[in-house]
Every structure is written in structure tokens, then in C-alpha cells.
């Protein structure tokens, strides 16, 4: 393997890890293994710390392909808690508001999900990496500042209700680049005349790459030891 010329690696990002931490972890082990101080390593598509799943890591000259991977269709399995919201629409923050759920049925959920299939306008969450005048939205939101983000046009190819144990539901979402599943949870809650936030998120696919193609982070050093690696000069 030639990590400078460029390799593409697939990982199942661990819970509580940032995408940046995973990249740093992989870079550290690669640099140690090949005996260099610097090596270009990047990821194709951020996952929130509270999400797990498929993360594509590119090394060396293969980092030029990051944008290509970012534009590929993604699939997620999301668990939503109905009747309550948090500022970030996931478990990063405590519940701030509760809403009625007595009127919600599994049939209503099914009908509501259909409204999100196709082209949709989505406002990214305030707690996101979107930039406002050069500053990250989450940095402004954490300082208590008002964050106003513009809606983005996205495509949701499929939404399937996998489980309906009200007030909790589990859905499968196939979507385009830039889709915030936290924002989708927020909007599903609003459309149900209630609230919602994510309690679990797994990215199960990017393009043709599924979790079955992915390596566990803990197994990476041992896997690296088994590879025939080109020296970097």
C-alpha cells in the first residue's frame, strides 16, 4: 500500500468521537508505521460525535477524491424521540421543551414521512458547522447568539418507518449531500404538531460502501501491521 500516492480506507466511526478525532487517530498510526512526521489525511463527510457509522478516510493524493465521495448518496438509520426537543435536536443538550403526543399514531407518522420524500428545503440546525460571516454556527449558538441560517435545497430519495414504538420511532433515510438528519427530526416533529429530537444515528452507507466494508478503529493498528507498505521518501 502506498499511503502517500493515496489510499482509501473505510471506518465505522465510534460513538462520542468527532470526525476530526478519527482522522487524527488514523494519521498518527500511519505516520508511526511509515516513519514520517506528516501525511495528508482527510475524511469525506462529517458525522456528529453522537452518530456512528460509515466514514471514508482518504490519504495522500487520494484526498483529491474527497469531494467525489461527499456527493454520493448516503443512508442513515435514525431513532427519534417524539414530544420533546433539545437545542441541538440530539442528545448533546438536555430537553428544553416538551409537546403533546397523544394525537400521534403510527399511521399519522407514515403519512407525515411521505411529505419529506423528494426535493425539500431544509434549514440547517443552529448547532451545525455551517458558516455565518466566517464563523461556525455552533460557536455562535453556544455563546447564546441568535443564529439565522438560510434553507438549502436537498433531495430525500427514501424514508422508511422501521419501528413505531410511540413516542419513539426508527426510520431509514436515503438522502443527498448536506442533509442534516437532526434538522429532519426537527421538521418531522413540527409536521406532527409536536416536537422531536434524535436519540440515535447510524450512517449505514455512503455510495456503495456499507458498514460491512468498514473497519473497527481498534483493529486498525493490527490491520496496518499485516499490510505490505511502500516506503515514503
C-alpha cell at 167: 413516542
* Inter-CA distances, 85 with 93, 104, 179, Å: 9, 16, 19
* Interatomic CA distance for residues 36 and 40, integer angstroms: 11
Helix or strand (DSSP H, E) at 184: helix 181-191
* Interatomic CA distance for residues 78 and 188, integer angstroms: 12
C-alpha cell at 39: 501525511
Asked whether the beta carbons of 167 and 101 are under 8 A apart, the reply is yes
| Distance from the first to the final alpha carbon of the chain | 14
Q: Could you identify the residue written with the cell 495528508?
A: 40
Strands 196-206 and 51-59: parallel
**Is 12 noted as a catalytic residue in this protein?**
no
Identified catalytic residue from 48, 90, 96, 187? 48
Q: Could you identify the residue written with the cell 455512503?
A: 206
Q: Which residues are catalytic?
A: 48
Amino acid at each position: 500500500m502506498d499511503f502517500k500516492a493515496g489510499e482509501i480506507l473505510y471506518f465505522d466511526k465510534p460513538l462520542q468521537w468527532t470526525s476530526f478525532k478519527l482522522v487524527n487517530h488514523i494519521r498518527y498510526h500511519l505516520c508511526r508505521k511509515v516513519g514520517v512526521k506528516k501525511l495528508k489525511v482527510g475524511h469525506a463527510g462529517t458525522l456528529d460525535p453522537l452518530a456512528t457509522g460509515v466514514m471514508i478516510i482518504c490519504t495522500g493524493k487520494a484526498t483529491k477524491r474527497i469531494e467525489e465521495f461527499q456527493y454520493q448518496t448516503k443512508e442513515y438509520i435514525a431513532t427519534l424521540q417524539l414530544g420533546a426537543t433539545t437545542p441541538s435536536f440530539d442528545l448533546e443538550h438536555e430537553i428544553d421543551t416538551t409537546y403533546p403526543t397523544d394525537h400521534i399514531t403510527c399511521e399519522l407518522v407514515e403519512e407525515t414521512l411521505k411529505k419529506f420524500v423528494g426535493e425539500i428545503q431544509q434549514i440547517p440546525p443552529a448547532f451545525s458547522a455551517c458558516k455565518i460571516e466566517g464563523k461556525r454556527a455552533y460557536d455562535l449558538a453556544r455563546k447564546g447568539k441568535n443564529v439565522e441560517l438560510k434553507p438549502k435545497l436537498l433531495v430525500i430519495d427514501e424514508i422508511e418507518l422501521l419501528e413505531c414504538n410511540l413516542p419513539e420511532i426508527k426510520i431509514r433515510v436515503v438522502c443527498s449531500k448536506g442533509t442534516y438528519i437532526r434538522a429532519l427530526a426537527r421538521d418531522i416533529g413540527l409536521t406532527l404538531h409536536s416536537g422531536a429530537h434524535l436519540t440515535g444515528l447510524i450512517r449505514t452507507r455512503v455510495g456503495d460502501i456499507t458498514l460491512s466494508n468498514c473497519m473497527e478503529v481498534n483493529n486498525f493498528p493490527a490491520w496496518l501491521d499485516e499490510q505490505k507498505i511502500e516506503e515514503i521518501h
